Amino acid sequence: MGQTRRTPRSLQQRCACTHTLRTLSDAVKTLREELGLPDLSTKSGYRQLFAGYGDYAPKLFRYSRDHQDDNHAVAAVSAYLLRMVSDGGIASKMRCDRDCEKCIVHLVSPSKCDLRVLSALRLATASSVSYGSNGRHGLTYFLLDPLLNVLRDVGRSDTLAPRLCLEAFYYALSDVTRPSKESNILPANHLQDLLERCIGMAGHLTRDNFFGLFHDVMELALAEHLPYLPMADPRYGTFIVALMRYGTANYRRLAFNLLTGRQSQDYRKRTPPPEFCACCAGHLDDSANSEHGTDDHDHSSHAPHAHLADTIALPDEPQRTSAPAFPDGESAQLAKMRPIYESIMDDLLKTADLATAGLRHYLIILEIPLPTRYKTEKADDTRSPAGILPFDTWGDMLPFAANAVRRLDQQDVDEFLLPKRLVSAPSPAQIATILDVHHALITDPEQAVDMVKAARIAYPDDSWLLFASLDVEPFDSRPDFYEGNGQVDAVCDLREQAKKVLASTVVGRLIRATIARTAFCFVNSSVSCRKVSFWGPILDLADDMAREYLEVCPQDGIDRCWMLEIRIFARLIRFGPEVSPQLLDMMHMILDWRQAEQFSILLYGRLRDLHLSDILRFVLDNYNAALQWESRLRAYCPDTGHAEYQACSPWLALSPDLDPEPERARRWFLNLHSPRDAVDWNDMPYKIMRNLALPQAVLKKLPNCSSCGRRSASLKKCAGCREAMYCNSDCQWRHWKGQACGEGENYPKHCHRSECTRKYPFKGGERTQGPEIACGDC
């Protein structure tokens, strides 16, 4: 008891002062005593500070300036301001106080004391969220440079400071760059300077910290919050390559999104400029050549970027001398995807043949990424260069390419498409229509709805248009969807459409994956307003389409992880964990999902609506226990509390109320599902089993109510003899008085009052005698 509490070693490595875990609380107490500040550990303290803010705040600001050399005093000021920001009323006054903004910016500064730095960074994060959510962007704007200064100072430490600093910087940067009615919250020249500072941080941070900083910047760029980000700058290509080669799974996913144009939020957004992708591809080629000792090119123009790449491989970490360890199949897929944009753009700049570019882009839409160049008599090397083309992105190129494809002959189209594993080549007009629809999906999704409908009428058998219609037209667009057989008819139509394309073809796999994904996402978003049994046909459709996809898709299929998730989650929604015959299949699917997830996240980076990592781990570890299923499901379906939804499945009605002995309840559940151990129903934990609707096989083993005879898993025991069991207090009272046999107030010999070994009076009311009903924990 009398020993001094030591500070963890991670907090003492950079500190120029010594302190224990109570140092900050003692410093805050000293601050309150010297300035007479109220104690914010009570509600009355917050009310007192709110009423006298004009008197207390100036004292606090002067104290921070006068004691700036005292690390503990400054840390105490930051901790006290953090509590002030957490209160809505006090924070509203702080947002109108310019002196408060200056004080917070002054507190965020480098220091040798980690206690001071951590307190200031927590204050900066809370202030950025509070000020930004209320439209006060001045503080977050002035916090950017101080946060970078702190990050530069603590970037190589292994404490909590770098992570907190990155978090505060992300909130501040996202606040000043988010779309707002105010114009030029962050001017273009200031943003350029800020990005230049981020580039210059490479040699002062560890690799993980630098990737975290650049990850935050690029996430905002993908969300189009950084309109001035020069994507075509070769330096950013260097960083993308560094993220892909040396980063973790999340950073590689981000790099691949930027490299291939796959957006992390919405696939309809504009893709990066082609020259940016070509720049990244060039850096990948340079890196591969230099690793294998086959560098035959002149890299004098890329010398600054190569030096920048060397800076990323920091001196304190070993240089990589071999190729990065990609999973099986990933490097091959990257080799296919990387040259596509470069080769199409190179040929287009040389020949100005928009028809060829349109046909090659049509193959990309069908997800057949074959970079083989199309050489005919029309596309010769003697044609004059295209010069400045009238487009900057792939979305701008598509209308021109569609017009050029319309002028082609069917023979030219067959010559180009039939060798690409297509069963039959569509007409030039049909390809041009698909290119126009794809352009509308990128630029104007609302216009794409009408275009898809018109295209479906013109080409009803086109599989890709079916895929596009599922993305723009909801399932419930049919007027009779919620009535009669409307849902069944819609499902039958989709099944017939899917049968028109062989599942073994690329387009067939794409169609089945799209139907399964769209159907399940629709059920997942609408399940709160209807019973799960209502969505049975659509759930069956999603499960069948996912099964057909998995039967024919390769191990590196683009939607393999998605389809496994759909099959797993569909079973959980419909049956719950009680379906022991399907347990083996469930385990096999989960193992396959774990293998597919690694590849899917690293390569494709698709953000799915369902994040099942925690749920699947829970299935593997606690499949028979089933103690937390309702709370887990509510994290994904927040409205599962409705009575009609709880009654649709036997396990969704589980009420996981807190039990005083959770270990005892867990053991009881395991014994319930074990064929070897017998279950003692008298020891059943009532609070866990209340309102649980069990299967018929288990229901036959349940005890009867001593009064009405109904079988139930939530009967309460008599507190006297602990033998009689009742549904509720009314059944208990009737059995106690003998009213169940119609005997009235004259208690017969067989009434429970004459049989019970102990008698407990009721508490209050007219019932002066009788046993209390005890819960199963007594």
SS3 384: coil
pLDDT confidence bin for 654, thresholds 50/70/90:
very low
pLDDT confidence bin for 253, thresholds 50/70/90:
low
435 and 561 in one domain?
no
pLDDT confidence bin for 534, thresholds 50/70/90:
low
Radius of gyration of the chain (CA): 34
160 and 80 in one domain?
yes
668 and 627 in one domain?
no
Residue 768 has pLDDT above 70, yes or no: no
pLDDT in tens, 685-722: 443 343 333 444 555 666 788 888 777 656 777 877 77
Q: Is 223 domain-assigned?
A: no
Q: What is the pLDDT of residue 557?
A: 62
Helix axes 394-406, 354-365, angle to 10 degrees: 110
Residue 373 has pLDDT above 50, yes or no: no
Identify the domain boundary among 607, 639, 671: 639
Q: Is 290 domain-assigned?
A: no
Residue 501 has pLDDT above 60, yes or no: yes
User: First and final CA of the chain: distance in angstroms?
Assistant: 37
pLDDT in tens, 376-389: 333 333 333 333 34
635 and 667 in one domain?
no
Identify the domain boundary among 154, 186, 218: 186
Residue 68 has pLDDT above 60, yes or no: yes
Q: What is the pLDDT of residue 483?
A: 60
684 and 560 in one domain?
no
440 and 516 in one domain?
no
Domain count, the chain: 4
Q: Which domain holds residue 62?
A: 1-186
Contact criterion met (CB below 8 Å) for 758 and 771: yes
Q: What is the pLDDT of residue 679?
A: 52
699 and 583 in one domain?
no
Instruction: Give the best-scoring range by mean pLDDT among 212-226, 443-457, 761-775.
Output: 443-457
Q: Is 324 domain-assigned?
A: no
Q: H or E segment at 81?
A: helix 71-86
DSSP 432: H
Q: What is the mean pLDDT of residues 441-448?
A: 66
Q: What is the mean pLDDT of residues 232-254?
A: 56
Q: What is the pLDDT of residue 152?
A: 82
Residue 211 has pLDDT above 80, yes or no: no
Q: Which tokens is 21 given?
A: 């875990």
SS3 444: coil
Q: What is the pLDDT of residue 383?
A: 35
pLDDT confidence bin for 506, thresholds 50/70/90:
low
CA distance 288 to 283: 9
Q: What is the pLDDT of residue 436?
A: 80
* pLDDT greater at residue 466 or residue 622: 466
527 and 401 in one domain?
no
The secondary structure of the chain in percent helix, strand, coil, rounded to multiples of 5, reads 60, 0, 40
Q: What is the mean pLDDT of the chain?
A: 61
Q: What is the pLDDT of residue 186?
A: 61
Residue 753 has pLDDT above 60, yes or no: yes
* pLDDT greater at residue 498 or residue 231: 498
Q: What is the pLDDT of residue 628?
A: 41
Portion of the chain with pLDDT greater than 70, in percent: 39
Phi, psi (deg, nearest 5) at residue 725: -135, 145
Q: What is the pLDDT of residue 139?
A: 73
CATH of the domain at 102: 1.25.10
pLDDT in tens, 448-486: 777 877 887 788 777 667 666 655 555 555 555 666 566
* pLDDT greater at residue 57 or residue 370: 57
160 and 25 in one domain?
yes
Portion of the chain with pLDDT greater than 90, in percent: 0
CA distance 653 to 28: 49
CA distance 436 to 465: 11
Ramachandran bin of 722, using left for φ above 0, alpha for ψ from -120 to 50, beta for the remaining angles: left
Instruction: Give the best-scoring range by mean pLDDT among 145-154, 437-446, 500-509.
Output: 145-154
Query: pTM for this structure?
Result: 0.37
Q: Count CA atoms within 13 Å of residue 176 on its CB side.
A: 24
Q: What is the pLDDT of residue 404?
A: 76
Q: Which residues face 711 on adjacent strands?
A: 704
* pLDDT greater at residue 627 or residue 670: 670
Instruction: Give the best-scoring range by mean pLDDT among 97-111, 174-188, 491-505, 638-652.
Output: 97-111
Q: Is 598 domain-assigned?
A: yes
Q: What is the pLDDT of residue 464?
A: 67
CA distance 576 to 461: 39
Q: What is the mean pLDDT of residues 74-102?
A: 81
pLDDT in tens, 129-160: 777 766 666 677 778 888 888 888 887 776 77
Residue 62 has pLDDT above 80, yes or no: yes
The 3-class secondary structure across 166-210, one letter per residue, is HHHHHHHHHHHHCCCCCCCCCCHHHHHHHHHHHHHCHHHCCHHHH
130 and 56 in one domain?
yes
Q: What is the pLDDT of residue 9?
A: 38
Q: Is 362 domain-assigned?
A: yes
Q: What is the pLDDT of residue 349?
A: 61
Q: What is the pLDDT of residue 179?
A: 53
Q: What is the pLDDT of residue 477?
A: 55
Q: Is 310 domain-assigned?
A: no
Helix axes 138-154, 161-177, angle to 10 degrees: 150
Q: Which tokens is 209 given?
A: 């910290």
625 and 513 in one domain?
yes
Q: Is 141 domain-assigned?
A: yes
Residue 76 has pLDDT above 80, yes or no: yes
Q: Is 494 domain-assigned?
A: no
Q: What is the pLDDT of residue 305?
A: 35
677 and 575 in one domain?
no
Q: Which residues face 726 on adjacent strands?
A: 716
pLDDT confidence bin for 254, thresholds 50/70/90:
low
